[in-house]
């Protein structure tokens, strides 16, 4: 049982092979079982202690992931958003634009299926799918197993596309070196206020689907002000992966982050 998020399920790591659109169960992950039919009250000390134990264990494993990545000079980026904000489309376009410049592989997190992993593989990236069942986020243990299966080359970039959710993914360190949060204009400008912990963790906030701005009610100035209040150090970029507007700024950020990490 995990009192941190209250979800329940067993993660399965699936390797999506080239020239193969079927899913393969490469490893069944018996990580923490999010269950939670019995939750204590907000003041229940047992609930707080369980939360602390779950996060402490995850932080230890995340530290091991970080060391593993650092030894191989691999930059890991945790890509987070609500469902449908455009993470997979962003990665597809990025893989095509930076082919031959940046070696990108992907860890895909979803509750079920390998639809996004198939799209990413078709775009030219090595990819491993993690299906979390009813789990609402990836954790460091899942990512450790995915890295083992993926075996990314030294000096490359691994993008971890987290499960679509603006709550629990912000709580779990995966061992990444950077956190990128997508906020699509179709979901409204109030998300930083409603989900502050997610935006407080961001190194970069991408406002996506800007081609739809004429058709939706999205206050760009309010959104930017709220992000800067929560996370003054975060960079903020606006783009459309559909039209390509603003994508060069994202590519430049990725190149700078990659070069800066590899120069350490």
Q: What is the pLDDT of residue 37?
A: 36
Enumerate residues 6+ apart whose C-beta is below 8 A from 225.
none
pLDDT bin (cut points 50, 70, 90) of residue 1 is very low
CA distance 108 to 29: 15
- Residue 207 — φ and ψ, nearest 5°? -85, 115
Mean pLDDT score, 117-126: 96
Give Cα separations from 252 to 78, 173, 217, 234 (angstroms): 17, 25, 29, 15
Q: What's domain 11-262's architecture?
A: 3-Layer(aba) Sandwich (3.40)
**CA dihedral sign of residues 22, 87, 166, 252:** positive
pLDDT higher than 80, residue 17: no
Q: What is the pLDDT of residues 194-247, one digit of tens each?
A: 999 999 999 999 999 999 999 999 999 999 999 999 999 999 999 999 999 999
198 contacts 116 by C-beta, under 8 angstroms: no
Q: What is the pLDDT of residues 139-184, one digit of tens each?
A: 999 999 999 999 999 999 999 999 999 999 999 999 999 999 999 9
- Where do the domains of the chain lie? 11-262
Structure tokens at 250: 């994202």
CA distance 186 to 101: 32
Q: What is the pLDDT of residue 184?
A: 98
CA distance 29 to 252: 36
Mean pLDDT score, 28-52: 53
Mean pLDDT score, 127-138: 94
Mean pLDDT score, 104-122: 96
CA distance 96 to 86: 16
Q: Where are the alpha helices (DSSP H) in 174-246?
A: 191-194, 196-200, 220-230
Q: What is the pLDDT of residue 15?
A: 64
pLDDT bin (cut points 50, 70, 90) of residue 45 is confident
Q: What is the pLDDT of residue 137?
A: 95
pTM equals: 0.86
Length of the chain: 264
255 contacts 224 by C-beta, under 8 angstroms: no
More confident residue, 80 or 42: 80
Enumerate residues 6+ apart whose C-beta is below 8 A from 107.
127, 128, 130, 138, 143, 146, 147, 150, 158, 159, 160, 161
Q: What is the DSSP string of 217-234?
A: ---HHHHHHHHHHH-TT-
């Amino acid at each position: 049982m995990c009192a941190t998020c209250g979800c329940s399920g067993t993660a399965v790591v699936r390797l999506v092979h080239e020239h193969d659109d079927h899913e393969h169960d490469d490893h069944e992950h018996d990580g923490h079982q999010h269950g939670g039919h019995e939750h204590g009250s907000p003041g229940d000390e047992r609930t707080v202690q369980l939360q602390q134990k779950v996060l402490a264990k995850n932080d230890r494993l995340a530290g091991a992931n970080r060391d593993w990545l650092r030894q191989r000079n691999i930059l890991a980026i945790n890509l987070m958003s609500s469902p449908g904000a455009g993470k997979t489309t962003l990665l597809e376009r990025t893989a095509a634009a930076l082919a031959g410049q940046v070696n990108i592989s992907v860890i895909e997190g979803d509750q079920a299926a390998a639809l996004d992993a198939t799209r990413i593989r078709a775009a030219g990236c090595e990819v491993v799918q993690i299906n979390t069942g009813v789990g609402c986020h990836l954790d460091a243990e899942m990512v450790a197993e995915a890295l083992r299966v993926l075996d990314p080359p030294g000096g490359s970039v691994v993008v971890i596309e987290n499960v679509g959710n603006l709550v629990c993914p912000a709580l779990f360190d995966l061992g990444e070196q950077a956190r990128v949060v997508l906020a699509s204009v179709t979901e409204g400008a109030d998300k930083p206020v409603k989900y502050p912990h997610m935006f407080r963790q961001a190194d970069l906030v991408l406002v996506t689907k800007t081609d739809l701005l004429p058709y939706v009610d999205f206050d760009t100035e309010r959104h930017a002000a709220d992000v800067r209040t929560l996370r003054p150090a975060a960079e903020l970029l606006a783009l459309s992966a559909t039209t390509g507007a603003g994508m060069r700024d994202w590519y430049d950020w990725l190149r700078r982050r990659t070069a800066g990490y590899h120069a350490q």
